[in-house]
């Protein structure tokens, strides 16, 4: 993990929501990276080893949605924290990777800031537990 400010990768295909989420991350005091789909997010994660948290939408174009992306990240980078959001789907906790948090859109910015802060200070001794949906 990064020794300076935490790095948050925001994955969102809607440009307006992406801008708002990036602003939220920056206003919370974190460095923000952005991707418009899972494929782009994976490329960023392959290039940058300092990403501490991924904040992803579920519904987006490309080879995988946000749920598949979050499981992909959990399998390959267990220390990376995960926030998952959707305006259409309500996801059961059993469908999410261990240790991730789900928020319905429109989400409360204070709740997102609090969740990021709690996840980023949480113990990094994660032991993966794959759950399928």
50 alpha-carbon distance from chain centroid: 14
- Please report, to the nearest 10 degrees, the dihedral formed by the alpha carbons of residues 72, 125, 4, 21 taken in order: 40
Give me the percent of the chain exceeding a pLDDT of 70.
Answer: 85
What is the set of domains in the chain, with CATH numbers? 7-121 (3.40.50.2300)
pLDDT recorded at residue 35: 98
pLDDT in tens, 74-122: 999 889 999 999 887 666 777 889 889 999 888 889 999 999 999 998 7
CA dist., res. 114 & res. 14, Å (int)? 23
For the chain, give the mean pLDDT: 87
């Amino acid at each position: 993990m990064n020794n300076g400010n935490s790095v948050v990768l925001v994955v969102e295909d809607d440009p307006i929501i992406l801008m708002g989420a990036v602003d939220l991350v920056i206003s919370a005091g974190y460095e923000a990276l952005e991707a418009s789909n899972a494929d782009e997010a994976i490329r960023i994660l392959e290039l940058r080893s300092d990403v501490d948290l991924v904040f992803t939408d579920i519904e987006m174009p490309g080879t995988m949605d946000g749920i598949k992306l979050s499981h992909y990240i959990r399998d390959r980078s267990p220390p990376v924290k995960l926030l998952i959001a959707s305006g259409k789907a309500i996801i059961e906790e059993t469908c999410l990777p261990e240790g991730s948090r789900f928020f319905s859109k429109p989400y409360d910015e204070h709740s997102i800031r609090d969740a990021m802060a709690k996840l980023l200070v949480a113990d990094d001794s994660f032991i993966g537990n794959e759950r399928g949906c």
